[in-house]
Amino acid sequence: MKESPKPVDDPVRVGGICGSLRNGSYTRMAVEIALEGARATGAESQLIDLRTYELTFCSGDDSVEEPADIDRFRTSVQACQGLILGTPEYHGSFSGVLKNALDLMGFDEMGGKMIGLVGVAGGAMGGLNALNSLRTVGRAMHAWVVPEQATVPQAWQLFDEDGSIKDEAIEKRLRDVGRQVARFAYLHGNQRAQEFLRLWEGAPANPGGD
């Protein structure tokens, strides 16, 4: 079981997974903006585009040979210390495309990672129910879901064709999600920070502190 990331002093890598396969997806646009926020901290980032992988449905049958793309997808996720999960809200929950991608992974891919959530919807709620469900899934996969999240309501009114967003407040929230994932991922995996914590925990009690 992999629950602690390898200590890193190099820039962390943040990946974005969009739970929509639609061309011109507003969710993909929102995830890209969140990844820009991660890059602003000095992190490396990449969109792990589910459209470029041939992912079969998760059957739970270990006797069935899996397509090579599933291993390629898992390897892409394993290379990241943080992830942005973006989803449209379908019938009060997150998309089946994203659920299947998560079902194809386990603790080796997700354990110990920092996760940021982005929800997009055509209605006024902005995918809030979908994000609540994703938080539960993140905890079940032993990931750290950061407090910051971003919802994009009535997305069809907010995005231009080039992927830019018209609402500055929502744009800031999206970027803040990426920034928080990158910063927490760095702190969680940074060798110097871990060494400081080990020294602090092992330090003798202060005799004058009583």
CATH code for position 80: 3.40.50.360
CB-CB contact of 141 with 102 (8 Å)? yes
The answer to the question of residue 209 being in a domain is: no
Is a pLDDT exceeding 60 seen at residue 178?
A: yes
pLDDT at 62: 77
Count structural domains, the chain. Answer: 1
The answer to the question of residue 44 being in a domain is: yes
The answer to the question of residue 1 being in a domain is: no
Average pLDDT, the chain: 89
Per-residue pLDDT of 54-74, as tens digits, reads 999 998 777 678 889 999 999
Is a pLDDT exceeding 50 seen at residue 185?
A: yes
Q: Lowest-pLDDT range, 6-10, 43-47, 86-90, 119-123?
A: 6-10
Per-residue pLDDT of 115-159, as tens digits, reads 999 999 988 877 899 999 999 999 999 999 999 999 999 999 999
Q: In the predicted model, what is the mean pLDDT of residues 70-85?
A: 97
Per-residue pLDDT of 20-42, as tens digits, reads 999 999 999 999 999 999 999 99
The answer to the question of residue 66 being in a domain is: yes
The answer to the question of residue 69 being in a domain is: yes
The answer to the question of residue 84 being in a domain is: yes
The answer to the question of residue 45 being in a domain is: yes
Structural domain boundaries enclosing 89: 13-202
The answer to the question of residue 138 being in a domain is: yes
Per-residue pLDDT of 187-204, as tens digits, reads 887 765 666 556 666 777
